[in-house]
Structure 1
Amino acid sequence: MRLGLGCAQLGNLYRAMTDETAAAIVDAAWAAGIRYFDTAPHYGLGLSELRLGAALRDRPRDEYVLSTKVGRLLAENPAFVGQRDNSGFEVPATLVRRNDYSRDGVLRSLESSMARLGVDRIDIAFVHDAEDYVEETLAGAIPALIELRDQGVLRGVGLGMNFDRILAEFVRRSDVDTIMVAGRYTLLEQPALDELLPLCEERGVRVMAAGVFNSGILATPAPGTTYDYREAPAELVERARRIADVCARFGVELPAAAIALPATHPVVEAVVLGASSVRQVESNAARAAVEVPPQLWEALRAEGLLR
């Protein structure tokens, strides 16, 4: 299985970390064989990109794949008087995000990202959270990225979001190479099987599976209580508990099965996992190495717990 490191936590997602911890997380990922790193300007108002770039600076550029995102430009915050960011990142709000899915916005975003990362090229550029900007993205962002791909500046053009049906619309209407689908193809729920993944298979679009723990409920051997960043409904917690019980019969912990399931689909190229500590990186890598017997999936299907 190919693992990627999702770098939202490097932008102080929910809680602050030191620069040293951020560097150690990237070092641990590299030591575990991870060679795909995903970030975004949104993550910590550019802090994730700065930290990831610093941590990768001495690594051979041809030995890893780097993706970032476009759609949110960062601008100076003229009203800054000491307030903190209001989008879940523990950073000062010295910058503000401006949604911009135009051609000019995409080019400016990529230029700024490469400066923060300290690189001369990005491998994959994802249009980030464009669910409310479908037509603007189809008219501006995607054609601009495709032009850069055709010029050899990018290796891949993609989209990333939580909405499988809107991703399917983009795949159907544009020439993208890759998508990142978060939380919609997991051990708990698989709506991406309805349309998105078959369409990707038909059109040769590769998939990065993110959010495979559904933001926490599948992240521990005993199911958690957080689903899609909110308190999980009781029926989902019970469903996760039943899944965990079936996994236990096969000697597999719930998080290991959650990591393994997306990789069973032929279009999934990588499973992207975040980490807030070196220990989490090592734990994720160890769980990804667990061999899950096919009989586990069969048992889950037999009990109506898996598509």
Structure 2
Amino acid sequence: MIAAGGEPTNLGRQGLRASRFGLGTAPLGILPDLVDAAAAQRCLERAADLGIRHLDTAPFYGAGLAEERLGSFLAERDATQFVISTKVGRTVCQSVDGRRATTVFDFSRSGILRQIDESLRRIRVDRLDIVYLHDPDDHWPEAIDEAWPVLAELRAAGLITSVGAGMNQAGMLRRFVQETSMDVILLANRYTLLQQYEADALFADCAARGVSVVLGAVLNGGILATGAVPGASYEYQPASASILERVARIEAVCRRHGVPLPGAALQFAAAHPAVSSVLVGAKSAEEVTLNLDAARYPTPSAFWAELQDLGLVGADRPLPP
């Protein structure tokens, strides 16, 4: 029987096996209303109970807090039963006023080595499965000339199994795939029900080079979970009128077929043959359950056919079976 997290898939060239759906821990560290430690623990426990074996974090999420909470969870478990990914490119430090922790970009060699050491300490492991360069959009020279060689060296030394880059854009990720020996990429917001074509060239390059694709933010920052409600968030900003109108049209089709909007969004993203795993954030055990239930919800072929007939899903897009 397949666990709720999905049938395991290959992730990268180094033999990692991850659940089809993974848990993104950003909501456990950085929220307008931060969840408490007990709720974070319950969230991670529920994910594990439901078969999720892919856990993603980063120093940026709460200036190390999400990593620390993941570490507390792993302290009483066999961490080798999970694929753990984190990121480099931001160093946790004190703010100018010295009263709170924050992060600053740093893709230097010394910065990357320091960040890796600190992440190992916070997560409470002695090695890492995946490490991504995190949002190097404005730091290409430093990321490719200083940060990337460090990750390649640590991979060769066995401290990291697979290395990659995580970004909200396809263009620079494509350069990384073409110019390095990365194993895996994390693409956020760029392959969703609302963004269906921007990643095609990137996905083709990944397939040609054996690079695995992990998707994040497939609910586009919230609107594909909440629907076209007032104040809905699209890519971390208030949704425009055109986005609200498109989502409302998708919702209407969902209602006609009894399909939950988040289920359609999660299943559409996971259906692409280039995609190995889809990360879904959650801030509570209940959200983990709701997300996985949506991901497994039976969606009839007539539902997808109507979305295509209305031009809401491209006729050439891969669809769930």
TM norm structure 2: 0.87
Cross-structure match for 1:35: 53
Show CA shifts across 1:264-304 (max 9, x none). Answer: 11121111011111111110111111233444333322321
Aligned partners of 1:3 and 1:271 also within 8 Å:
yes
Q: 1:303 to 1:40 in 2, by over 3 A?
A: same
Report 1:53-132 matches (<5 A). Answer: 53-77=71-95, 79-80=97-98, 82=99, 93=100, 95-132=101-138
Aligned pairs (5 A) from 1:122-161: 122-161=128-167
Distance 1:291-1:146 versus aligned 2 partners, 3 A rule: farther
Question: Are the counterparts in 2 of residues 208 and 270 from structure 1 also a CA contact under 8 Å?
Answer: yes
Q: Deviations over 1:153-195 (max 9, x none)?
A: 2111011111111211221221111111111100111243332
Q: Conserved in 2, the CA contact under 8 Å of 1:219 and 1:254?
A: yes
Q: Secondary structure at the match of 2:277?
A: strand
Deviations 1:220-246 (A, max 9, x none): 3x4342111111111111111111222
Number of the residue aligned with 2:175: 169
Residue range with higher mean Cα deviation, 8-17 or 113-122: 8-17
Aligned length: 294
3-state DSSP of counterpart to 1:73: strand
- The CA deviation string for residues 30-64 of structure 1, in whole angstroms up to 9 with x for no partner, is 11111111111111111111111101211112210
Inter-partner Cα distance in structure 2 for 1:181 and 1:301: 24
In structure 2, C-alpha distance between the alignment counterparts of 1:257 and 1:203, rounded to whole Å: 29
2:193 pairs, out of 182, 187, 191, with 187
CA pair 151-294 structure 1, distance change in 2 beyond 3 A? farther
8 Å Cα contact 1:107-1:144 kept in structure 2 = yes
State whether residues 41 and 69 of structure 1, in contact with CA within 8 Å, keep that contact through their aligned partners in structure 2.
yes
Structure 2 SS opposite 1:160: strand
In 2, the alpha carbon distance for the partners of 1:191 and 1:110 equals: 34
Percent identity among equivalent residues? 41
- What residue in structure 1 maps to residue 14 of structure 2? none
Q: Is the 8 A contact 2:132 2:185 kept in 1?
A: yes
Runs of at least 5 residues in structure 2 that lack an aligned partner in the other structure: 1-5, 7-19, 315-321
Partner of 2:9: none
**Aligned CA distance change for structure 1 residues 165 and 43 (closer, same or farther; 3 Å):** same
Q: Which structure 2 residues correspond to residues 199-214 of structure 1 after superposition, within 5 A?
A: 199-214=205-220
Separation of aligned partners in 1, 2:161 and 2:31: 28
**Whole-angstrom distance in 2 between the partners of 1:106 and 1:199:** 27
Q: State the TM-score, normalizing by the size of structure 1.
A: 0.91
Kept after mapping to 1: 8 A contact 2:74/2:124: no
Letter in 2 for 1:29: A
Q: Which residue of 1 aligns with 2:307?
A: 300
Query: Given that residues 60 and 90 in structure 2 are in contact (C-alpha distance below 8 angstroms), is that contact kept between their aligned partners in structure 1?
Result: yes
Contact 1:164–1:184 at 8 Å: present in 2 too? yes
SS of structure 1 residue aligned to 2:131: strand
Provide, for residues 103-127 of structure 1, a one-character-per-residue CA deviation record: whole Å limited to 9, x for no partner: 2211111110000111101100011
**Distance in 2 (alpha carbons) for counterparts of 1:20 and 1:286:** 23
Moved runs in structure 1, 4+ residues, more than 4 A?
none
Quote the Cα distance in structure 2 between the aligned partners of 1:16 and 1:75: 20
Structure 1 unaligned residues grouped into runs of 5+: 83-92
Do the aligned partners of residues 187 and 252 (structure 1) sit closer, same or farther apart at CA in structure 2, a change above 3 Å counting? same
Q: Which residue of 1 aligns with 2:282?
A: 275
Q: Cα RMSD (Å) of the superposition?
A: 1.5
Counterpart CA distance in 2 for 1:150 and 1:30 is: 30
Q: Which residue of 2 aligns with 1:231?
A: 238
Letter in 2 for 1:251: G
Aligned partner (choices 265, 268, 274) of residue 261 of structure 1: 268
SS of structure 2 residue aligned to 1:192: coil
Residue identity in the other structure for 2:55: F
